[in-house]
Structure 1
């Protein structure tokens, strides 16, 4: 049973008790009136006045009790209304807190996604260690991508396109660790397209930049091949002799010796 129901029940019991008290008082009045004849007029009047006073007092008590009951009911109604209002406010605040928690969780997820995206983008531009033709160096991802793309074109046999790709690479990355290898494949692409003079220039650039490069002996042999194609046997002989002296243990040196025996 709720507190409100208990309070109303108590009020009803109080009111019933007041009613019984009024009846008792009236009975007393009746008894007093029955014996009024035993007293003189003054005593009768006094008794009647006293009885009236008691009746009025009882009525006043009943009226006050009714007023108090009505006021208490109104107070209970107001209290119940306040309780319901507080419940509604609490439910609203609970809903707001839950929404705030969801918003915070979503914000944290977005921040994590943004941070991950930034890290991914940074990694795309972060230099990495690579190894080409026996050399290790660091290169930007774009630099590595462009070199491998140009080499893939060469390996497909599209030598004019490969020539263009390696020329662009050398211009775009003049300090690249790929430089000597790029010059070697550029020279070979030019040799394949019979652009012998440009091929000789790029092979010599490789030898000047990196005489100890793994491709250097083959570059020197390729210079001699270009000179032979240009009918410059004298220069070809000199190039082959220098190759044998500079790189005596290389396979290119052995090939140079064989060609020297056939060169007129």
Structure 2
């Protein structure tokens, strides 16, 4: 009889002990699995954020290279234009009998050709190059200030559309969507011949997308494809669509 009570008591104690142990499976307790999943999700989010930042930096690097190419192309065009003016001036002088002009007066020829480029243009070009150097050297805050100042100081420069674009790019990089939108919109509306116009329209689409304006973003992407079908940015716009 006593033995029977001992067996029952032992079975009861065993059941209590068993109930006190948390439920486990082959991979650990449920709490451990949840904690492990949370760590995995957090790690993945950090990796994605890092990749996004790297992509933004790479995009800016590519834009820098394109800007350098455009800057060199612009300089080459100015040199060729000055050469054409020089040759035309020589032709006019020779055609009007200026060939009999004494040699002492010949230095006036290059001077007249050089006068086609005003001192204001030279100053504007230097200011733009200085701002672009800051951008290439990744001094983004200083570059943003320099480009904004360039827009204010040289509103008629041939580089002003590019300055608007770079101001927008730097604002977009910093998450300042309002100023980025203003700068890109200026390129689109004021400079229809700018080489930066297609990319500015695309960036307006990205900004609208970030702001949750899906239909507006879609209209910008469609506009890029319609107006610049052969541009490289059109392929990115198609992917967004």
Question: Which structure has the larger Rg?
Answer: 1
Q: TM-score, normalised by structure 1?
A: 0.46
